[in-house]
Amino acid sequence: MNYFIRLFIFSLTCYFCVLSIAGAQNSVSEPSSSIVKATLLEASTMTINGSSTLHDWEVDATGFTVQFQIPEAWFESEEIWAGNDVSQLSVTVPVEHLDGGKNKMNRDLRDALKFPGFQTIRFTWEQIVFTGEIDTGRRAEVDGQVTIAGETRQVRFEADLGLNEWSQIVASGSAELNMKDFGIEPPTAFFGVIRTDEKVDLTFELYFGYE
Contact predicate 98/119, CB 8 Å = no
Kindly report the length of the chain: 211
H or E element: which one contains 13? helix 3-29
User: pLDDT of 15-73, one tens digit each?
Assistant: 444 344 444 444 333 444 699 999 999 999 999 999 987 788 999 999 999 999 999 99
Residues 190, 2: Cα–Cα separation, whole Å: 108
* Assigned CATH class of 32-209: mainly beta
Specify which residues 83 forms β-bridges with: none
Q: What is the pTM of this model?
A: 0.81
SS3 79: helix
Segments of the chain scoring below 70 in pLDDT: 1-33, 188-194
